[in-house]
Each structure stands twice: as C-alpha cells, then as structure tokens.
Structure 1
Amino acid sequence: MRGTAIGILTFFSMFLAAAGARSAERWAELPAFPSMPAAKTSGMAEVNDIKMYYAEYGEGDPILFIHGGLGNAEVWGHQVADFARDHRVIVADSRGHGRSTRSGQPFGYDLMTSDCVALLDYLKIEKVTLVGWSDGGIIGIDMAMKHPEKLTRVIAQAANVTTDGVKNDVLENKTFSHYIEVAGDQYRKLSPTPTEYQAFSRQMFEMWATQPAWTAAELAKISVPVTLAIGDHDEAVKLDHTEMMAKDIPGAKLVILKDASHFAMLQDPAGYDAMIRDAMAGR
C-alpha cells in the first residue's frame, strides 16, 4: 500500500507541475508593458485635426513603430531599447489613443494613416521602415498602398485586411480581455480625456466592424517590401488569413513567431527584434 501511495503522490505532483507549466506558457500571458527609455525628443505634433504624441530615440536610419488598437506607444519599450542603439526610432500614439487627442471624425484606417504621414512630414522624415502591430500593421499596409513614397519597407504583425480575418471568439479570450482592461487603465492614466475610455473604445469597435475591407487587386498593387508576422497562438487574427495576405501582396514574406500570440513583442522581445532585423536585412 505504501508503494502505491507514493506512486499516487508522485503522479499527482507531476500532474500539478505539468498544469503549472501549461498555465505559464508565454503565449497565454500578457506581460506588463516595459519601461520606456528616456526620449531624445518628444512632443505633440499638430497633424490634420488632432494633436499627436510622438517621441524619438537614437540616431540612424529611421524606424516608425505604430501600436495596436486601444493601446499606446508604451508597448514598444523593449524594441525602443534595442533599436535606438543604431537607428532613429520614432513612436507615436494614434489618434485618440494614449496622449493623442481625437476629433469628431469617425475613426478610419485611411484617416489614421494620413495622421502618420503628416507626422513624418512634421518631423521632416522622407522615408521610414514602419513596424506595425495589429492596427499599426493595418496602417502600414494602408500606407504601402496610398503613400509608398514614405516607406522603405513595412513589417506588419497581426494585421488583417478584411474583417473576416479576425477570429469570432477573440473577445472571449482571457489574454485579449486582459489586454482590454490594461488598455483602459493606461488610457485613464495618459489620455487628455481620461474619463472617456468607454466612448473611445465604442468608436474603435464601430470601425472594426467594417474596416479594413481591401481586395486582392488592391493588395496586388503594393510595391514596397512587406514582411507579415503572426504568432502561432494569435488570439485575434487567423493564420490562414495572414497566409492569404502573403500570397496577395507581391513578394511578401511570411514569418510565424513561435510560442507567441497577438502580444509577441512583449512575450518574446528578443525573437521579435530578431525578426525585425532579419526583415530589414532582406532575410
């Protein structure tokens, strides 16, 4: 009996250890946003009908990092620390997000893309590598179609080009729901309208219900180099949709980020940064 009891206890211990390991899978967690390095310059640029927050770091060839929906530039702390060593890094809060203001205009990707173009003009930057996550990646693809002269390349992670590229159960996902809560906390801390997160997020959900809606023919006209990255456990964007995008965009490269989700830049910063450097080197 004693041997049997020991065996049961051993099995139970192994079961608990395995369960703990499963719960600790990095793709199932939302790490805290990292601290941002001290900016070289920062400010509020008057673009279109808003004031858009931006910050700059380092020197060299410029890289513009654009965050995802409901978020802000603080998500890029790991990447800023890495790339500011040898690049001019620019981060910005999209209209209505973070420290940037919003107007009465409905949110739309063309409008947010025009904000980024106006920011580059404000900063007197002719061309950038644009790294975009989620909505930021969609903005990068939009810019590749509408303003290719502004781009050296686009690196878009977890982007979609039609609404059916988004998983139907994304809002039921624990990690994504946690992100929405964190985004709300940060909005209340950073926004010039800290009490309006519910109204702001409702406007964003209204945009997501109908946008983007690009055709294969529109994507086929893209002429700048594009890298499409997606985590192998992405909670929001369908893998087969990303594969379709890679086929429709001429010369696009598809990268699957291992053991990562929609929030890969936080979950695996070293792997994420290596992906960006490979894309910039044409690998």
Structure 2
Amino acid sequence: MTTVETNAPGQYADVNGIRLYVETHGAGRPMILLHGGLGSGEMFAPILPVLAAEHQVILVDLQGHGRTADIDRPLDVALMADDIAALIDHLGLDRPDLVGFSLGGGVAMHVAFRHPEKVGRLVSASANIRRDAIYPEMLAQQGQVNGAAAEFMKETPMYELYQRVAPRPEDFPRLLDKIGEAMRVDFDFSEQVRGLRVPTLVMAADADMAPPSHYVEVFTLLDGGLRDGGWAGEGRPAGGHALAILPGLSHYDIHDSPLFAAVTLAFLDQGR
C-alpha cells in the first residue's frame, strides 16, 4: 500500500484495490468523516473547523465520489466499509471514531458491523436501515436516477463539484448509473444493528428522508427507549447508544449544521 501526493489539500492512499482520496485536519483523537451520496468530504466544510478544533478529522472521498475515481465493482456499502477498514490499518489508527452522513452513515455502520474491533464510537446520521422506511415519493425519485439524468443535473452543486474535482469528470453519468442501481436494491439491516457492539449515536433531521419514527426504531433495536433512563443513567442502553433528532433541519442541510457538529462532539467526547 502506498500514499501518493496530490495537488489538492490531501493525499491518495492505495488500499483494498482502490485509490482513496484522504484529507487530514486538526489533531487529537481521530475521527473518520464520511460524506453522502453524490457528494465529497467538502460537504462538511462549514463545520470542519469546529470538528477539527480538538480532533484529528480524516475526510475520505468514497468510491467514485469527489477526488476518488471509480473502480470496477458495484457501489456497495459493505465493500466501501472494507475500504475504510483497510484505510484504518493503512494509517495506523487505533480505534478511530466514525462519523457518517446518509451514504457515509451506511458505510460507517457497516464498518462497525464487519470490523467492530477497529472502531471506537459511531455516529450514523440520516442513514436508513430499511429501504421501505424511506418515503414512497423519495423511492420513486431514486428509481429514476441513471446516467441519462446527467444532462438535467448540469446546474446542480453535485455536478459542479464532480466536474471541478473528479479525476475523470466524464464519469458523472457512470456514477449516476451505479448509485441509481444501488438505491433500487432492497435492504434491511435490522439484525446487524441489533448486534452492534460499538457505542452508536443514531442521528437524523426532524424532516429527513424517512420519518423520525424510523430512527427511533433503530434506537429501539439498540436497547434504547424501552424504559426510564434512571437518576444515574442506569436505565440507558447498555451499549452506550444514544438518539438525536435535530430540529428545523432536513436531509439536505443537516450535514453542515452547527447542531450536527455540537451533537456529534458531545457524544464522542462524553466520559473521555
């Protein structure tokens, strides 16, 4: 495995058969920060200074996103989770915390499912564990995502970002094809969530892609919300799990909200 310099602020790390773009900001206990679909690490720019004030924040562009070129395999959260696990080893990190939004939240969860010994704490924001929890109108929109939609997205921030930073800007229709295909696959990770052994914060906006009740359901699978918490917290979930529904936000602005940063840091730093 090698690390290669780039003209951008970060570097490339060759791990698990993919050349991941990685940026490191700040110093302190490491936190790997994973972006949403059709985005990149840049989407956290408004809150990055707060997160990096006392933590080493490692921004990663996932397969086919941002400055990481696509490779010949599906866009699958389990495969991307193995990329992150390999990156943890490559960077010599000791149980970093994982923070992910949307697609990145799903990838972060799968790192904890598949490689729990490599993870400290987990923050999964706006990540759904069942496809049928997503609002029907959103599922219909996701079903229409394919390479042919690239022409209609030329005025969007996602297209602008990809054209500006991607190693192969012409691959944008390919990314849409692959992410559309991934979103049409049914999934239910309830059993994996029930078995999580990594302290996990389930986070969502109060107007997210699925109803707040879905994220409460995830918390319930983690032994949360089943009894009074107790004066000394003795009734809280045994695994150190927590739930946060952030007010006044949606799936499209939660990731750069000061509330996202504040709640994430409160969970990661509690008792440490």
TM over 0.5: yes
Cα 1:280–1:179 shift into 2, 3 Å? farther
The one of 217, 227, 252 aligned to 1:244: 217
What corresponds to 1:265 in structure 2?
255
* Equivalence map 1:189-200=2 (5 Å): 189-200=164-175
Percent same amino acid at aligned positions? 26
Unaligned runs of 5+ in 1: 1-38
**Residue aligning to 2:201:** 227
Q: How many residues align?
A: 238
Separation in 2, partners of 1:226, 1:62: 16
Any idea what the Cα deviations from partners look like across 1:214-270, whole Å, max 9, x if unmatched?
2x3322111111111111122x2332221111111243321110101112132x32x
Rg larger in 1 or in 2?
A: 1
CA change 1:238–1:178 in 2 (3 A) is farther
In structure 2, C-alpha distance between the alignment counterparts of 1:111 and 1:273, rounded to whole Å = 27
* Runs of 5+ consecutive residues of structure 2 not aligned to the other structure: 1-6, 143-151, 224-236
Give the CA RMSD over aligned residues: 2.4
Instruction: Please state whether the residue corresponding to 1:228 is helix, strand or coil.
Output: strand
Task: Give the secondary-structure state (helix, strand or coil) at the position aligned to 1:203.
Answer: helix
Q: Secondary structure at the match of 2:245?
A: strand
Q: Rate the CA distance shift 1:98–1:145 in 2: closer, same or farther, 3 A.
A: same
1:208-227 to structure 2, matched below 5 A, reads 208-210=183-185, 212-214=187-189, 216-227=190-201
Q: Are the equivalent residues in 2 in contact too, given 1:58–1:84 (CA < 8 A)?
A: yes
Contact persistence 2:34–2:99 (CA under 8 A): yes
In 2: Cα distance, 1:179 partner to 1:225 partner = 40
Q: Which has the higher helix share?
A: 1
Task: Report the residue type matching 2:102 in the other structure.
Answer: S
Q: Using a 3 Å threshold, how does the CA distance of structure 1 residues 180 and 232 change in structure 2: closer, same or farther?
A: farther
- In 2, Cα distance between the equivalents of 1:207 and 1:274? 31
Write out per-residue CA displacement over residues 119-176 of structure 1, whole angstroms, 9 at most, x where no aligned residue. 1111111211111000111111111111111111111110011211222223769xxx
1:237 counterpart letter in structure 2:
A
1:160–1:212 contact (8 Å) kept in structure 2: no
Q: What is the CA–CA distance in structure 2 between the aligned matches of 1:52 and 1:94, rounded to whole Å?
A: 7
Code of the aligned partner of 1:75 = M
Question: Does the 8 Å CA contact 2:106/2:127 hold for their aligned counterparts?
Answer: yes
* TM-score of the aligned structures, taking structure 1 as reference length: 0.78
AA partner of residue 158 (structure 2): A
Q: Which residue, out of 241, 253, 262, partners 2:242?
A: 253
After superposition, where does 1:78-117 map in structure 2 within 5 Å?
Answer: 78-117=46-85
| Distance in 1 of aligned mates of 2:155 and 2:82 | 26
Q: Map Cα deviations across residues 16-56 of structure 1 (whole Å, 9 max, x no partner).
A: xxxxxxxxxxxxxxxxxxxxxxx997201111221100000
Q: Provide the residue aligned with 2:180 in structure 1.
A: 205
- State the Cα distance separating 1:211 from its structure 2 match: 5.2
TM-score (norm 2): 0.81
Following TM superposition, by how much is the alpha carbon of 1:95 offset from its aligned partner in structure 2, in angstroms?
0.7
Matches within 5 A, 1:142-161: 142-161=110-129
